[in-house]
């Protein structure tokens, strides 16, 4: 029996013989599926599609302060909308999940609503300049769905969720733009304060080292050269004055201090001349004339002193030549003293200029460090002022709702068909599962059945020729059973049609 080869006719006989065992599991599983479909409450879904529109003004004119990719901002907004506070407001507003709220805590109710809300992004391959112009998926829109039992409530909640996304997006963008503008304003004021402090520090440094700054180096060098030239001139002048002083001293030493001494010298000279020459000799005549003039001058001087009553001053030179030389010597000595003072002043100036020039590299290094710090702060101030102006412009852009925004292109509609339960899928699954169970039962029964049901099988077992075979006789009972099976099949077909329409 086990090695018998079955034909199509044999399998048809098995189906006829085991049709009850094949149909019964199908009916049971299908009935259970129909029961589940009938008792399971319908769940409706309403979906809104929201488009992400770029800002109206080109980014080359107004740069937004909202950073990050669209996916990141959408996830951040989704977390804000899905917060317990906002979801509880919606739950209380529409009075949903009444049965669940009576049995479960608030956290479970909120978690259930989060599961009923579906968020999905829509992407498209667009050339991205930031990635070398190669096409890459970029989020251009997203959908918001809500599932529930009441179609009108589902539509209203989906509309509220989409409105919350739009409002929250505008609110968040404006807050971020305002925050960026405020932060940049505070940073700009802080850096400007640093700039004022470094300017004051540079001013104090320049005031303290006003004559040692690097920009005055050439002036100091020129002044030093001028001082050196003046010092050389003073030295030459001092040498000349000292020579003149020596000459006057030598001349003064040969001139008598008073007229009496001079008169004696002239008389001695006249005696010598008279011993050698006559009275008519020019030298004798000249000496006599000088003696006479000297006597007349002495007489006049005594007469003037007697008339004024001024007593004579002892040891005072009265020789005009001596007095003239002495006065010249005094003038030269005063001039020498003045030149010495000037030379000392020039030496002090020269030392001061040398000190300035020696200190110039160190002063220059410190001064350049201050200037470098000042330039760095100035660049930071300029950059922050530029960014602050851009942030204020971006803030105005967001305030006027001209930046990136969300637009509802497909509002939430009133659902007409439930998305759950999926009746065709459930019924078809139940049908295939029932058929599989029926085939399994029939196969198991045939495997365990050792009966001989046709002449071929009998001949294969006994190896004795079969003389005659009595055909199968259908009774009235079997006819009624077949009619009942047909009715059940018709009912099942009607159920499939109904499920297909729904």
- Sign for the CA dihedral angle at 390, 394, 395, 396 comes to positive
User: In which element (H, E) is residue 283 found?
Assistant: helix 282-308
Task: State whether 378 and 276 are in the same domain.
Answer: yes
Q: 47 and 27: one domain? A: no
> Is the residue at 1 inside a domain?
no
Asked if 76 and 159 sit in the same domain, the reply is: yes
pLDDT at residue 146 tops 90:
yes
Q: Does residue 299 carry a pLDDT above 70? A: no
Do 425 and 299 share a structural domain?
no
CA distances from 380 to 201, 385, 386 (A): 18, 8, 10
Number of H helices, E strands in the chain: 14, 4
Determine the pLDDT at residue 2.
47
Who has greater pLDDT, 127 or 240?
Answer: 240
153 and 218 assigned to the same domain: no
Taking 50 as the threshold, does the pLDDT of residue 314 lie above it?
no
pLDDT in tens, 87-135: 999 999 998 888 888 888 989 999 999 999 999 888 877 765 555 556 6
Residue 135, H or E segment: strand 135-148
Per-residue pLDDT at 159: 92
SS3 call for 473: coil
Q: How far apart are CA 202 and CA 390, in angstroms?
A: 31
CB atoms within 10 A of CB 253: 8
Average pLDDT, the chain: 76
Structure-token pair, residue 78: 């989704």
Does 47 lie in the same domain as 34? no
Q: Please provide residue 417's backbone torsions phi and psi, each rounded to the nearest 5 degrees.
A: -115, 140
The DSSP secondary structure of 19-38, one letter per residue, reads: HHHHHHHHHHHHHHHHHHHH
What is the distance between the alpha carbons of residues 81 and 13, in angstroms, rounded to a whole number?
A: 65
Residues 27, 84, single domain; the answer is no
Total-model pTM: 0.51
For the ranges 28-42, 246-260, 296-310, 365-379, the lowest mean pLDDT is seen at 296-310
| Domain assignment of residue 448, yes or no | yes
Tokens, residue 108: 């479970």
Task: Mark whether 369 and 403 lie in a shared domain.
Answer: no
Crossing angle of helices 84-94 and 151-208, in 10° steps, is 150
Q: Judge whether residue 457 has pLDDT over 70.
A: no
Q: Which has more pLDDT, 294 or 122?
A: 122
Number of domains composing the chain: 3
Are residues 307 and 279 located together in one domain of the fold? yes
CB burial of 260-297 (b: ≥16 within 10 Å; e: otherwise) equals eebbeebeeebeebeeeeeeeeeebeebeeebeebeee
Span 55-67, average pLDDT: 52
pLDDT number for residue 156: 93
pLDDT at 172 over 70: yes
pLDDT band at 160 (very low <50, low <70, confident <90, very high): very high
Residues 6+ away with beta carbon under 8 Å from 63: 390, 394
Q: Is the pLDDT confidence value at 8 over 80?
A: no
Whether residues 47 and 123 share a domain: the answer is yes
**Range of 26-35, 86-95, 273-282, 360-369 with top mean pLDDT:** 86-95
Residues 178 and 248 in one domain: no
Residue 390 placed within a domain:
no
Confidence label for 154 from pLDDT (cuts 50, 70 and 90)? very high
Q: In this structure, is residue 473 part of a structural domain?
A: yes
Same domain, 148 and 80: yes
Q: Which residue range(s) make up the domain with 170? A: 43-185+395-410
């Amino acid at each position: 029996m086990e090695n018998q080869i079955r034909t199509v006719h044999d399998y048809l006989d098995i189906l006829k013989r085991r049709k009850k065992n094949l149909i019964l599991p199908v009916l049971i599983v299908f009935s259970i599926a129909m029961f589940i479909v009938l008792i399971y409450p319908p769940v409706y879904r309403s979906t809104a599609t929201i488009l992400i529109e770029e800002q109206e003004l080109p980014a080359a004119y107004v740069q937004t302060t909202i950073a990050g990719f669209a996916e990141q901002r959408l996830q951040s907004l989704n977390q804000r909308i899905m917060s317990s506070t906002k979801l509880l407001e919606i739950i209380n507003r529409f009075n949903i999940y009444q049965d669940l709220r009576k049995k479960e805590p608030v956290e479970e109710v909120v978690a259930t609503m989060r599961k009923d809300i579906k968020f999905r992004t829509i992407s498209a391959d667009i050339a991205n300049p930031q990635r070398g112009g190669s096409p890459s998926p970029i989020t251009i829109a997203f959908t918001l769905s809500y599932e529930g039992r009441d179609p009108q409530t589902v539509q209203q909640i989906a509309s509220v969720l989409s409105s919350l996304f739009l409002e929250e997006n505008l609110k968040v963008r404006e807050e971020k733009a305002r925050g960026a503008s405020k932060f940049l304003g505070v940073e700009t004021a802080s850096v400007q304060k640093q700039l004022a402090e470094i300017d004051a520090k540079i001013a104090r440094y320049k005031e303290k080292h006003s004559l040692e700054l690097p920009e005055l180096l050439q002036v100091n060098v020129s002044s030093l050269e001028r001082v050196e030239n003046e010092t050389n001139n003073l030295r030459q002048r001092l040498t000349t004055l000292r020579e003149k002083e020596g000459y006057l001293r030598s001349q003064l030493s040969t001139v008598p201090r008073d007229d009496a001494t001079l008169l004696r010298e002239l008389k001695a000279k006249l005696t010598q001349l008279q011993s050698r020459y006559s009275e008519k000799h020019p030298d004798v005549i000249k000496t006599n004339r000088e003696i006479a003039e000297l006597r007349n001058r002495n007489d006049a001087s005594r007469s003037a002193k007697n008339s004024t009553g001024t007593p004579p001053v002892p040891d005072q030179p009265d020789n005009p030549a001596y007095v003239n030389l002495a006065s010249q010597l005094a003038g030269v000595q005063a001039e020498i003293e003045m030149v010495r003072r000037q030379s000392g002043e020039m030496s002090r100036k020269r030392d001061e200029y040398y000190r300035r020039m020696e200190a110039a590299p160190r002063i220059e290094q410190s001064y350049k460090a201050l200037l470098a710090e000042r330039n760095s702060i100035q660049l930071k101030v300029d950059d922050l002022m530029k960014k602050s102006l851009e942030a204020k412009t971006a803030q105005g852009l967001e305030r006027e709702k001209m930046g990136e925004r969300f637009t509802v292109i497909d509002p939430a509609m009133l659902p007409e068909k439930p998305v759950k339960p999926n009746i065709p899928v459930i019924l078809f699954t139940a049908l295939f599962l029932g058929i599989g169970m029926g085939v399994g039962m029939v196969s198991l029964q045939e495997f365990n059945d050792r009966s001989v049901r046709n002449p071929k099988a009998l001949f294969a077992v006994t190896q004795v020729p079969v003389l005659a075979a009595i055909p199968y006789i259908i009774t009235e009972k079997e006819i009624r059973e077949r009619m009942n099976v047909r009715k059940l099949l018709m009912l099942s077909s009607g159920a499939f049609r109904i499920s297909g329409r729904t």
